[in-house]
Structure 1
Amino acid sequence: MKRFHLYLIACLLSSLSFSALAQRAGSGADQISSIEEPISWLPTEGTLGGMPVNIHGQTTYINQRYNNYTSSYSGLNSMSSNKSMSYTWSGTLFFGARIFENTDVYYNPEVFSGVPFSGLVGLGGFTNGEANKAAGKEAQFYSARAFFRHTINQDGTKVHLENEANQISQTVSSNRFVITGGKFSTLDVFDDSTYAKDPRVQFMNWGNMTYLAYDYAADARGYTWGLAGEWYRDNWVFRAARTLAPKTPNGRDLDNQIFKSYGDQIEVERQHNIAGLPGKVSVLAYRNKMTLARFQDATNYVIQNNAQGTQAINDVRTNQQFKTGIGINGEQAITKTVGIYGRAFTSDGHTETMSFTEADNSLSVGVSINGLNWNREKDTIGISMMQNGLSSYRRQYLQAGGVSYFIGDYAGPNQTISYKPEQIAELYYNALLVNNVLFGVNYQHVNNPAYNSARGPVQIYSFRVHAEF
């Protein structure tokens, strides 16, 4: 196993033809950047038969470990208290083509290998944003995205979008409509963030790649099929989408009956500048509809049938349940090298998790610091704090002895779960080793894993290697 990990790292470090990491399209030159511009001699964009095309790629290896930690007891879905190691490795190609003047198509084949901690149970805020794709040591090949994007420009200021993954360079209007349809991640369109979004190059925890309590529609890997619309009006953006929900909660297969089972979301974003420095605030709401279990029904089932220690939610699912939630996200550049962000979200808490993780309310705040002040302008430090909580309905189910999809520490009548919010601190440092390879170290401290004060804290140490062209 160690040889396999060393081989993966060697492959990453030998990828010396990769360009520097490309900055995400955003608010322009004032946006904090810790990565270099693409080197000009690498032809990532060109034409094919007169049609603009581009191609990019990425590969990321993440290794995480923790030592033995204190645990009074363990249940069916408890995170192992013994020393453990987890890893993920991904490789993605991003193909794009402009088939008409303002219409692009994109396709992303992906390969993935990985082993998550404890089979991906025992936490609300999982420590690796790619761990949901892990299905074992054997590499799995699949189509991550296959979508079109059509832009309808109106009068307004011209905005140039740079060549990057899933974006052919393009000049658009500040007033425009954008329609996206096909297979993509809901997070490709919603809840964007300059500082806390991509676990491959920023914070790793699930609670930092989006709101942890945002139960967005997706398959088990985080992708879905659907249609999204965006209306840009200068510094305002209005977004809405309907996407497919899984046939069963956290399942791999999606239900194509989009009027019967779906995830809806809307978002309003307001961009601004304070003292010439960019920031924004957004509000996002969702409504899911599918076959789900209500926690009150599941709790009653556990008590009436002495079903402690089981996933009773599987026995009480009913058609056409609704699940809703709303949250706010804000970010602001404080200086040209320091930016802050914060997210807060709450879901109704009546129904089980549909697609994401076990959380009914979540709060995260953090800071990103560029290394210019210590003559390492391509390096980044990130520091964050998160608190995740459960609704009273979900708590009652767990304390009655029920087990949910990702959590459930019930281990007998004398081991009642002692609920406390799950608290996570995360710290990372990224260094650009050469013009094409990023190396990062990460530390996460988890109090009350899976909302149980009888277990933990857990200290997770990680490193990653990431390259892209």
Structure 2
Amino acid sequence: MRLLVIALLLFTCLPVFAQRVESYRPEPATYEAPKETAGQKLIPTEYEIFGFPVNVHGQTTYINQRYPNFNAQYSGPNSLKSNHSLSYTWSGTLFLGARIAPNTDVYFNPEVISGVPFSGLVGLGGLSNGEANKATGSQAKFYSARAFLRSTFNQDGEKIYLEDEANQIAQTVSTNRVVITAGQFSALDIFDDSRYAKDPRTQFMNWGNLTYLAYDYAADSRGYGWGLAGEWYLENWVLRASRMTTPRDPNGLPIDWNIMKHYGDQIEVERGHSISNLPGKVSVLAYRNKMVLARFADATNYVIQNNAQGTQAINNVRTNEQFKTGFGLNAEQAITNDAGVYMRIFKSDGQTETMAFAEADNSISIGAGINGNSWSRPADTLGISLMRNGLSNARQQYLKAGGVSFFIGDYAGPGQTITYKPEQIAEIYYNATVIKRVLAGVNLQHIQNPAYNAARGPVNILSFRIHAEY
């Protein structure tokens, strides 16, 4: 509760303390972009191969995390280890694109990652590193992150210019247009965009700041999937919808290709606006998943009837197809040319196990992003955030009965299942630009009630990051 009060004060009072200087981060091009004027030649890309415009970008990110010993009255099979621990991830990505026809592009992102997550990636609702789910050990793994086609159908409207960047060949488009994306990508590439809390490689690291923590979006265990997405831009409005593949098993890597039978659907409505010439937006998102999932009520009964405490009983009752739904609100607003604030609120139905993302059924995150112009470091950024994650009553009862789920489960014997309290996280980061396109950053996360258990923690996680891009 104290964190929420502080969060509300931060959200409402930060404009008083922020100074008006240059923007923290460019607004998405839909709302703010240079216009094509008479006599101005907008070059679509730097390269051509066999007459086809192409672009090539890349990134590499190293994240090192550690925490000291913390208090734990007991620990279970899926608890965060209470002794001093180290973790790291390293990733590298190529972003390759080609324009194969007017307004039609193809993109391919080969990726490599290695890393060792804390406690084998268990013990927290809001996990501390947004790249950790991709890592399976110190040996580098190569895979395809994205391979998709995107077509843009321009309609009448004002012309805007989309600059060349990763997975975007420069082009002039209309404010009124339809964009179709098909192939392999992440649902988060399309939905729940944020200027301030989106990318763990350059912004906040905690999963609760990648997107709504309670948004169980369809994806494989690395966060990618296959599907079809449509976006309809109409001036300051955007309507988005998609259908994505699910994993064959919850939180698994193999894909279930029967997308007509098992799928993740989502729809989002977004409206961009301007207050005192400062950009902002509000969006609402709803999702509906369908696949074979365990219901917590069935799993709880199984634990009690079979004395199966300390086991993943959800595996024993995963027999029928289930629907899982949720709804969320995202709002953000630039409060000066130098700083902005954001808020995410989400609630899932909480009756079934996690399909592909985090162990959370409701979540709130609130925070701010600030550019370093006010202290003469214009390429530096600072972020501050507070998060509160909760579980449904059905999931709480399963854990209290001694059940263990994919990421959490503190059962360690009779009377030591879980002393439930919402998980509360404070996160702050600072990125300093070392040279152009290379940054070094530090991140601190304070986590109360890790994995929703008041008998453990708090945990303080210190992170160091190096990120470079081309």
| Fold match (TM-score > 0.5) | yes
State the AA in 2 paired with 1:194: R
Distance in 1 (CA, whole Å) between partners of 2:249 and 2:166 is 31
Counterpart in the other structure of 2:276: 275
Structure 1, gaps ≥5 residues long:
1-21, 32-42
| Residues 65-464 of structure 1: pairs in structure 2 closer than 5 A | 65-464=66-465
Q: Report the Cα distance in structure 1 between the residues aligned to 2:98 and 2:45, rounded to whole angstroms.
A: 12
Q: Deviations over 1:289-335 (max 9, x none)?
A: 00000000000000011100000000001232000000000000000
Preserved contact between residue 25 and residue 162 of structure 1 (Cα < 8 Å):
no
> 1:159 offset after TM fit, Å?
1.2
> Residue type matched to 1:136 in 2?
G
Whole-angstrom distance in 1 between the partners of 2:144 and 2:383: 31
Distance 1:222 1:190, change over 3 A: same
Identity of paired residues, percent?
71
Q: CA deviation at 1:165?
A: 0.2
Alpha-carbon contact 1:277-1:335 (below 8 Å) kept: yes
Tell me how far apart the structure 2 counterparts of residues 347 and 415 of structure 1 sit (CA, whole Å). Answer: 27
Judge conservation of contact 2:29–2:161 (CA < 8 Å) in 1.
Answer: no
Whole-angstrom CA distance in 2 between matches of 1:277 and 1:436: 26
Deviations 1:1-32 (A, max 9, x none): xxxxxxxxxxxxxxxxxxxxx9684466699x
In structure 2, give the amino acid aligned to 1:356: F
Aligned partners of 1:416, 1:148: CA distance in 2, in Å? Answer: 48
- Is the CA contact 2:30–2:160 (under 8 Å) kept in the aligned structure 1? no
What is the CA-CA distance between 1:414 and the residue it aligns to?
Answer: 2.4
* Contact 2:27-2:279 within 8 A present in 1 as well: no
Q: Is the 8 A contact 2:29 2:160 kept in 1?
A: no
Number of aligned residue pairs: give it: 437
Aligned residues of 2:263 and 2:291 also touching (Cα < 8 A): yes
Unaligned runs of 5+ in 2: 1-24, 35-43
Kept after mapping to 2: 8 A contact 1:27/1:278? no
Q: What CA distance in whole angstroms lies between the structure 2 residues aligned with 1:44 and 1:456?
A: 51
Match of residue 15 from structure 1: none
SS in structure 2 opposite 1:377? coil
Q: Residue 78 of structure 1: SS of its match in structure 2?
A: coil
The letter of the residue matching 2:219 is: A
Per-residue CA deviation, residues 421-459 of structure 1 (Å, 9 max, x unaligned), is 000000000011111310100000000000000000000
2:13 corresponds to which residue?
A: none
CA contact (8 A) 1:132 1:221 kept: yes
Distance (whole Å) between structure 2 residues aligned to residue 73 and residue 89 of structure 1: 32
State the distance in 2 between where 1:360 and 1:45 align.
46
Contact 1:64 1:87 in 2 (8 A): yes
Residue 273 (structure 1) shift:
0.2
- In the TM superposition, residue 416 of structure 1 has moved relative to its aligned partner by 3.4
Task: Please give the alpha-carbon distance, in whole angstroms, between the structure 2 residues aligned to 1:436 and 1:193.
Answer: 21
Q: 2:242 is paired with a residue of what secondary structure?
A: strand
**Partner Cα separation in structure 2 for residue 145 and residue 369 of structure 1:** 31
Q: What is the RMSD computed on CA atoms of the aligned residues?
A: 1.4
Partner SS, residue 378 of structure 2: strand
How far is the alpha carbon of 1:415 from its aligned partner? 1.1
Alpha-carbon separation, structure 1, partners of 2:123 and 2:190: 29
Q: Give the AA of the match of 1:250.
A: N
By how many angstroms is 1:259 displaced? Answer: 1.0
Query: How far apart in 2 are the matches of 1:164 and 1:101?
Result: 18
* Separation of aligned partners in 2, 1:133 and 1:148: 23
- State whether residues 246 and 355 of structure 1, in contact with CA within 8 Å, keep that contact through their aligned partners in structure 2: yes
Give, as a single letter, the amino acid of the residue that structure 2 aligns with 1:339: G
Q: Is the 8 A contact 2:445 2:462 kept in 1?
A: yes
Deviation at 1:243, TM superposition (A): 0.4
Counterpart amino acid of residue 298 in structure 1: A
SS at match of 2:256: coil
Alpha-carbon distance between aligned partners in 1 of 2:32 and 2:239, rounded to the nearest angstrom = 24
What TM-score, normalized to structure 2? 0.91
TM-aligned CA deviation for residue 393 of structure 1: 0.1
Mapped to 2, the partners of 1:152 and 1:314 lie a distance apart of: 45
Pairwise CA distance, 1:44? 7.4
SS at match of 1:318: coil
Equivalences for residues 45-64 of structure 1 within 5 A: 45-64=46-65
Paired residue type of 2:410 = D
Partner secondary structure for residue 313 of structure 1: helix
